[in-house]
Every structure is written in C-alpha cells, then in structure tokens.
C-alpha cells in the first residue's frame, strides 16, 4: 500500500509539473507573439501618432 500511495503522489506531482510546464510554454509563446505584434504595431503606431500630432 505504501508504494501505491507513493506512486500516486508521484503521478499527481507529474501532472502538476506537466500542466505548469504547458502553461509556462503557452505564456512564453504568447508573450513572444505579443512582442512581435507590438513591434509591428509600434512601427505603424509611430506613423499614426505622427499623423495625429499633425492634425
């Protein structure tokens, strides 16, 4: 019974580890996408900002 309990605990820890890693992976990929999107937006945003300042 002791080994089963230990195995179950290990399994739960594994699930937590994998879900945490998965979420971290999603977070980093989204952050990278957001950064690239923000860079593109900034290039156009500066142009729009300049137009707004002129008008």
Write out pLDDT tens, residues 4-54.
566 666 788 888 899 999 998 888 888 888 788 777 777 776 666 666 666
pLDDT score at 37? 76
CA–CA gap between residue 18 and residue 22 (Å, rounded): 6
Is residue 45 in some structural domain? yes
pLDDT score at 26? 86
Is residue 13 in some structural domain? no
Give 18's contacts (C-beta < 8 A, 6+ positions apart): none
pLDDT score at 20? 92
| This model's pTM is above 0.75 | no
Structural tokens at position 44: 């156009």
Total tally of structural domains belonging to the chain: 1
Give the domain extent around 44: 25-55
Is residue 4 in some structural domain? no
Q: Is the pLDDT of residue 1 over 70?
A: no
């Amino acid at each position: 019974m002791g080994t089963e309990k230990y195995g179950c605990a290990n399994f739960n820890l594994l699930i937590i580890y994998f879900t945490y890693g998965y979420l971290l992976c999603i977070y980093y990929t989204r952050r990278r996408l957001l950064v690239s999107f923000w860079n593109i937006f900034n290039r156009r945003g500066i142009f729009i900002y300049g137009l707004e300042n002129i008008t």
